Structure 1
Amino acid sequence: MQRKFIFMRSYLIVFFFFINILQLAAQKIIIKDTITNKAKDTVHFVDQLYDIGDGFRDISRFVRRDTSKKVQGKRSGISILPNINYNPSIGFQIGAKVVGGVYLGDRETTAMSTFATALSYTTRGIMVGYVAHDTYTRYNKWNIKGGVVVARMVALDYGMGMGNTVPTDIPEEEVLNNPQRNRYVNQYTVYGFNERLYKRLSPGMFVGAGVFIELKRNIRTVGDYETTPLDVYSELTDYNASRYNNNGLQFNWQYMTRDNPNSAYNGIYADVVLRMSQPWMGSEQAAYQLQTDFRKYWPLSSTRPNHVLAFWHWGSYNVVGRLGYLDLPGTGRDTYSRIGRGYTAGYFKGNSFFYSEVEYRYPILRNQFLSGVVFANIQTADDRLGTKLFQRWQPAAGTGLRVLFNKSTRTNLCIDYAFGRFGQRGLFLGLNEAF
């Protein structure tokens, strides 16, 4: 009984804690709702917003009955928090994460540079440590982006294609295409490094080149199977099923006018990358893959800047050669594993892959402490049984809540619920918008 009382008391404390945050957030008055290109006006606007840090300070003063009006110092662009996360692909995640943003020049002429680093462990046995950055020098003359990752991965695998039911007389192809969407679990260790350097040609437009190194080791499928999609694909394409390298060069073109990388209110982001896996750099085989990333943001209100309609396209198209099985493009295979909310990572994949998403973002509280989203996406891939790209599509949709975590960098705590076909659905938690 005493244990039950302690639990209820703790629950009530947490409940009223968040109720007070919401009440205090709602009481804040925004003096100015418009963001202009003037740095002074932008800073003034940010000071009127309300984030989780403000909530903790107000609750602390409320608990201490502190009525003094202390002048707040300059807010830091760095957020340090427990890396608690969940999605159907990784399970529950715990760890530590640091994200931040800084301007290396005047805000009127220089984009925000961002960085993130994290160390985490999940209930599926995944361990990940990474450092990533996206840096813009003064006047955006140069853009340098890349990162390092070391991870022990546990990846769900559903074979290639889009879940077709095309009959075949070849048992191996039936296993690889996996029309019943049977689930396999692959384990492997990955060591990755990539770095890209862009030179500005004109306002918003960059060209550049880079290098990528991806070493995959200790690859295996968990369980006792006569054959698996990983084994079939590796045998058909002459890849080592237990270890291989994917190293090479890349050439890039980028166009960027969006106003913020964490939560854009307007503008465009476009990136086209030609990745060239090279045997002379240690890659298992030669392969050329063209990747495209396009994002567009339409502001829907002159007084509520976070009232936005956003569009995202991500694609990866095979030009020539063959990638290793774990490098095939598909659901959740973008840099931050955000494409395809509604499905687990890798649920659909092929030699070529196309994805599009539209998201409606709307304010709930006037000071942007709470906002919401509604989104829908669609994806397609080819397979080895004759299905071509754009021939078969799979949709998903969902809705979510946003909590302003750091107003200096527009960092949101994102809570989404999405669902797709084949019984796929789940909760997706993360920091910063999906795109």
Structure 2
Amino acid sequence: MNKISIYTILLLLCSFSVNAFDHQEEKEEIEAHTSGPKVGKLYLSPIPVIASNPAFGFVYGVAASGGMFMGDPNSTRISSALLTVTNTTNNQLMFTFKPIVYTANDTWNLMGDYRLLFSSQNTYGLGSDKVVTPTGNLLGEQPMEFDMIRLYQTALRKVKTNLYVGVGYHLDILSNINDELLDLDNEIYTDHYRYSIDKGFDPEEYNLSGFSTNIIYDSRDNVANPYHGRYAYASFKYNPTWLGSTKNSSSLWLEYRDYFSVSKNRERDLIAIWSYANFVTSGDVPYMLLPALGWDQMGRSGRAFPQGRFRGENIFYFEGEYRFGLPLLNSKPDLFGGVLFANATTVSSEMDQVKLFDAIQVAAGAGLRIMLNKKTRTNISLDYGMSLNGESAFYIGLTEYF
């Protein structure tokens, strides 16, 4: 995307956001003199999606972030959901719906991840030792087409303040997989094909179906844009063939987020950290469903890198971000904000004998925030990231990244 189109998009978004912010302030002034946030009221923030992403090319479509209190706001966290419908210049049609729901008094926490993708994506082999050349050309870039259905639903019940335990079901179906570089007649093999044949998977389709046991500690004050609190999540997933998986396997997900205030006067000024690890603990997982960068629930990890840039049996990811307000307008001091971020990724590969922490890939960047809805703290996020190896990307989204 060239500079002119980026600036045009920024101007349009800023104009849209100022108008939305004005309207929202009027609504909040009225509600402040009545009953405050209303139970069951949907706070909706729709925007057009116009972005450039290294995995998808030029992206266009619509997105909507919704927030709602399912119970008394004094004892119930706000529920949030993100819905997107997008198409790309790479002929990728994608539908996603990702809700996080808290029922009255936070009794239940319901998390979903629903995706329907008619997509394509470059893969880069396994492990985090694959880098770029000095000219910026990716080594081992292997284009692939595929269709994907993802249906994830987890239900957790509160057992103590901020502590939840529960179970979930997870289904991934990949079909119509086309390795574009694969040429068996001339003995040209892709990493996806080599791995699939070695592990006994059909290179053109496979499933992963399983149930999970989960535990969450969540003291964040807002799911979409926390100012304080912490989040810890552990999930063990078992994927048996009798439930529909192509092969038996199990995996472990560990995640931690925390938020540290750096200003006594503005709670928006803070340092946020996010870390997760995902391990294949037994059996064999299909290539495209191995732990991979950018394939977390919200698809937020690895700014600067294409989705799936690093993939393998085990992954460890860490990100830190400094968030701060930008009082550019005296009449609307909360409208703008900024972020500075850095992330690090390491991935193992049994096939290529790459161990976790053998190679660490690092990226950093900066971003602008435009407040769409003060009550739900919904932001438009505009970010640019660059890796130490020269890979870069520009992102437009809704809500904070973590």
Normalised TM-score (structure 2): 0.86
1:144 equivalent in structure 2: 110
Superimposed CA distance per residue, residues 199-234 of structure 1 (whole angstroms, 9 cap, x where no aligned partner) = 111000000001111111100122464211111110
Q: In structure 2, what is the equivalent of residue 258 of structure 1?
A: 220
| Aligned residue among 386, 397, 400 for 1:419 | 386
Aligned to 1:284: 246
Tell me how far apart the structure 2 counterparts of residues 210 and 18 of structure 1 sit (CA, whole Å). Answer: 38
Aligned to 2:333: 367
CA distance in 1 between counterparts of 2:44 and 2:147 reads: 30
**Which letter does structure 2 place at the counterpart of 1:390?**
F
CA change 1:238–1:300 in 2 (3 A) is: same
Distance 1:369 1:243, change over 3 A: same
The answer to whether the 8 A contact 1:51-1:406 is kept is no
Aligned counterparts of 2:167 and 2:10: Cα–Cα separation in 1: 51
- 1:392 aligned partner: 359
CA deviations 1:313-365 (Å, max 9, x no partner) are: 01101211111000111211111211111111111111000000110001111
Amino acid of the residue matched to residue 147 of structure 2? T
Relative to 1, partners in 2 of residues 1:17 and 1:82: Cα closer, same or farther, differing over 3 Å?
closer
Correspondent of 1:275 among 201, 213, 237: 237
Does structure 1 residue 244 correspond to structure 2 residue 211?
A: no
- The structure in which a higher percent of residues are strand is 2
Contact 2:52 2:393 in 1 (8 A): no
Residue 254 of structure 1 aligns to a residue whose secondary structure is: strand
Structure 1 pair 164–79 and aligned structure 2 pair: CA distance change class (3 A)? closer
* Structure of higher CA gyration radius: 1
The one-letter amino acid of 2:244's match is G
Aligned partners of 1:52 and 1:406 also within 8 Å: no
**Residues 200 and 207 in structure 1, CA contact (< 8 A), matched pair in contact too:** yes
Q: Which amino acid aligns with 1:254?
A: I
Equivalenced residue count is: 374
- Look up the equivalent residue of 2:362 and give its one-letter code: P
Whichever structure has more helix as a proportion of its residues is 1
Identity of aligned pairs, percent? 27
Alignment-mate amino acid for residue 91 of structure 1: G
Instruction: Report the Cα distance in structure 2 between the residues aligned to 1:79 and 1:281, rounded to whole angstroms.
Output: 38
| Equivalent position of 1:38 in the other structure | none
Contact 1:306 1:368 in 2 (8 A): no
Structure 1, unaligned runs of 5 or more: 1-7, 23-49, 59-68, 166-178
Counterpart residue number, 2:162: 204
Query: Cα gap change, 1:71/1:273 in structure 2, threshold over 3 Å: closer, same or farther?
Result: closer
Q: Secondary structure at the match of 1:306?
A: coil
The CA distance in 2 between the partners of 1:231 and 1:340, in whole Å, is: 25
Distance in 2 between the 1:186 and 1:249 partners?
Answer: 28
Aligned to 1:194: 152
Q: Residues of 2 paired with 1:90 and 1:215: CA distance?
A: 20
* Superposition map of 1:3-402 within 5 A: 52-55=19-22, 73-74=30-31, 77-163=43-129, 181-223=139-181, 225=183, 226-365=188-327, 367-383=333-349, 384-402=351-369
Secondary structure, aligned partner of 1:378: strand
CA distance change for structure 1 residues 424 and 341 in 2, over 3 Å: closer, same or farther?
A: same
How far the C-alpha of 1:276 sits from its partner, in A, is 1.1
Query: 1:3 matched to which residue of 2?
Result: none
Give the partner amino acid of 2:366. T
SS in 1 for 2:149: strand
Deviation at 1:391, TM superposition (A): 2.6
**How far does residue 150 in structure 1 lie from its aligned partner after superposition?**
1.3
* Partner SS state of residue 196, structure 2: helix
What CA distance in whole angstroms lies between the structure 2 residues aligned with 1:190 and 1:15?
A: 32
